[in-house]
Chain A
Amino acid sequence: MIAFEHVGKRYGGRFEALSHLNFRVARGEMVFLTGHSGAGKSSLLRLIMRLEKPSRGRVVVAGHDIAQLHASQVPFYRRQIGVVFQDHQLLFDRSVFHNVSLPLDIQGIEPRESARRVRAALDKVGLLHREKALPIELSGGEQQRVGIARAVVNKPALLLADEPTGNLDPQLSADIMGLFEDFNRIGTTVMIASHDLALIAGLRHRIIRLRDGRLVADEGAA
C-alpha cells in the first residue's frame, strides 16, 4: 500500500527532516509511527498526503509514485485518503452533519446517498445524536470523533492520523484507538502518528520509530 524508497526531505536547503527512509506498509495493515516531536512523524504523513514532495527517493502509494502526479490529479488522489488531524480541522460555521458530509459534497455525491453515509459514519463514532450540533458545542473528544467520521465517511482505503489523541485523557484516547482498530478490522490500512508510547505499546500493532528523521526501529512487523 505504502512504500518509502530512500526517502529524504530537506527544508530550506539545510535542515533534514527525513533521511534514508525505507519501509513498506502492506494493504490492510495497522501501523503506529512514533518518536519525539520533531522526529519527522508529521513530515512523513505530509509526504503521503502529497502536501509535499520528497527531496530524494520515491514515495509509492498503491503502486504509484505520487511525486509524478500532476497538480490537477492531486485532489482526486487525496480523496482516497482519510486524514484525522490533531487539531481536528473542523469548520466551526457549520453543523457536525455538514462537517462530515464535506468530502462527499466535494465529490458530488447525491444528497440522499450522502446523508445515509454521513449518518452511518456518525453512528460508527457514536455521535449520531449530535448531528445538528455545532462543533464548538462539543467536547474535545467528541470533536476528534467528528474528525474521524469525516475521514472515514468516504470509505478510504488508507486512513492517516496525526496525533489523534494529542489532547485527550487516557480513557478517551483508548476509545479513539479502538475506533481505528475497528476500521482496520474491515480492511482499511491505518497509519497513526503518536508519541503516546504507553498507549500504543499495549495495542500490539507494528510500530515504526523515528529519531531525527531516521528510522531507528521497526517492531512487530506483520
Chain B
Amino acid sequence: MKRPTGQKPKGAAPRSTRPRAAPQQPQRPAQRGARAQQPRRSSRLRAWARHHRAMALDSLQRLIRYPLGNLLTMLAIAIALVLPAALWLTLDSARLLDAELDDSATLTAYLEISVELPEAKRIEQAVSADEAVQGTRLVSAEQGMADFQQSLGVEDALSGLDDNPLPHSIVVRPGSVDPELMQALAERLDDIAGVDEVRLDLAWVERLRHLAALGTRVALALGVLFGLGVLLVVGNTIRLSVESRRREIEVVMLIGATHAFVRRPFLYSGAWYGFGGGVLALGLLSLGNHWLSLPVAALAESYGASFSLPRLDFTGSTILLSCSTLLGWLGAWLAVSRHLASIRPR
C-alpha cells in the first residue's frame, strides 16, 4: 500500500478515494481510472510469473539438496510407470503383427481334380468378378506340389507318386477381413461350377484379435492403477514436506499469503518428482529394450522372421513425460489442498 503523501488530518471526511485498509478492494484502490489499471495488471502478471520462476527453481534446489531420498521417490514413480508402458509397447508391436496378418487373411478355393488349367483360368476370372474380391492368384497343381515339398523340407519324398494328387487352386484376397463377409464370399465361391471346396481359417486371427483387445484393457487397467500409485507416492512425499514446512506456512499465512501462494512450491516439487520419475522410466525402458533385444532377435530368427522390440519414439516419450509430470503435479495438489485446510495460523 502506498501511503498518501500528504497526511490527512484525523477524521477527514471521505476516505474512500484511498482506503488503506479497505478489505473489499484487496488489490489496491481501483478508483484511479482505467488507464492506471493497465500497467498494474501487467506488473501483477510479471510478479506472478516471477514467483512461478522462483518457486520452480527453489523446489528444484530443494530436490537436489537431498539427492538420495528424492532419487528413491522418483525411482518408485519410474517403476510404477515402466510396467504399463512396457505392456503398452508390447501390444503396439502385436498390433503391427496384426496388420501383417490382415494381409495374409485369404481364402483358398480348391478346384475339382478334373478341372484342367485353361478351365481353371476361366474360373479364376469368374472369381475375381465378385466385388468382394480384391485379388486372386492361381496356384497350379504343379506349383502347389512344389510349395508343399518345399514346406515339408524333403525334396523328393513325393516324387514316387505317379499322379499329382493336388488340384489347381485359387488364392483369393478379400476386400474386407470381416469374418461374416468372408464367410458369405466363401459360400458364393463354393457355388461356382468347378470349385470343389473353399477353405478359410480365421479362427486363429480372431483369437489373436481377442487377445490383443484383452491386453489393451489389461494395460489400461494397469495404467490407471499404477497412475494412482504415482499419485500416492507423490502425495505422501509432499505431505511430509508440507509437514516439515508447517511453521513457514503458518507464518506466511499470518502475513497474508493466499492459498495459491502457499501451494505453488509444493506443486512444482510434485511436478519435478513426476518429471524425474518419467525420465528414469524412459531410461529403464531403454535399458530393458537393450537387455531383451538379443534373445528376442534370436528367437524371431529361429522362426525365420525378423522382429525387433518396439522402442518409444519421440511422441511416445513426450506423452510419457507429460503424463508423469501431470500426475506428480496432481498428487501434490491433492496432498497440499488436504493439508492447507488443517493448517491454521496460531
Contacts and interface: CB of A to CB of B under 8 A. Distances in A.
Interface of A: 1, 26-28, 49, 51, 61-64, 66, 69, 72-73, 75-81, 83, 89-91, 93, 102-103, 105-111, 150, 154-158, 186-187
A75 B177 CA distance: 66
A89 B251 contact: yes
A51 B251 CA distance: 12
B27 interface: yes
Contacts of B7: 186-187
A91 B248 contact: yes
A56 B24 CA distance: 22
B10 A63 contact: no
A62 B255 contact: no
Contacts of B10: 26-28
B44 interface: yes
Interface in B321-346: 344-345
A72 B258 contact: yes
A76 B254 CA distance: 11
B171 interface: no
A14 B253 CA distance: 29
A62 B1 contact: no
18 contacts: A27-B10, A27-B11, A62-B21, A63-B15, A63-B19, A64-B22, A75-B26, A76-B23, A78-B256, A80-B1, A80-B23, A93-B248, A103-B255, A106-B258, A107-B256, A155-B3, A156-B1, A187-B7
Contacts of B143: none
Nearest to A154: B1
B261 interface: yes
A75 B257 CA distance: 6
Which 7 A-B residue pairings sit nearest by Cβ, starting from the closest?
A108-B47, A76-B26, A79-B256, A62-B21, A157-B20, A78-B256, A77-B23
A73 B259 CA distance: 11
A150 to B, nearest CB: 7
Interface string B39-57: 0000110111011000000
Contacts of A103: 255-256
B47 A110 contact: yes
A63 B16 CA distance: 10
Interface string B224-261: 00000000000000000000000110111111111101
Contacts of B252: 102, 106
Given A26-B10, A110-B47, A62 B22 contact: yes
Given A81-B21, A91-B247, A158-B21, A76 B3 contact: no
Contacts of B24: 64, 73
Interface string B85-113: 00000000000000000000000000000
A170 B234 CA distance: 51
Taking chain B's interface residues, is the majority helix, strand, or loop, or is none over half, making it mixed?
A: loop
A207 B205 CA distance: 93
A76 B256 contact: yes
A62 B261 CA distance: 26
Nearest to B255: A103
Given A64-B22, A66-B23, A73-B23, A108 B1 contact: no
A80 B21 contact: yes
Contacts of B23: 61-62, 64, 66, 69, 73, 76-77, 80
Nearest to B19: A62
Taking chain A's interface residues, is the majority helix, strand, or loop, or is none over half, making it mixed?
A: loop
Contacts of B257: 75, 106
What's the interface size class on B, roughly? 35 or more
B255 A106 contact: yes
Interface string B1-21: 111000100110001000111
A35 B200 CA distance: 99
B277 to A, nearest CB: 27
A98 to B, nearest CB: 11
B13 to A, nearest CB: 13
Contacts of B44: 108
B50 A108 contact: yes
Nearest to B22: A62
Contacts of B22: 62-64
A62 to B, nearest CB: 4
B19 A108 contact: no
A42 B47 CA distance: 34
Contacts of A66: 23
Nearest to B21: A62
A155 B1 contact: yes
Nearest to A27: B10
Nearest to B44: A108
A150 B254 CA distance: 12
A108 B23 CA distance: 18
A62 B250 CA distance: 25
A77 B1 CA distance: 11
Interface in B17-38: 19-24, 26-27
A1 B247 CA distance: 30
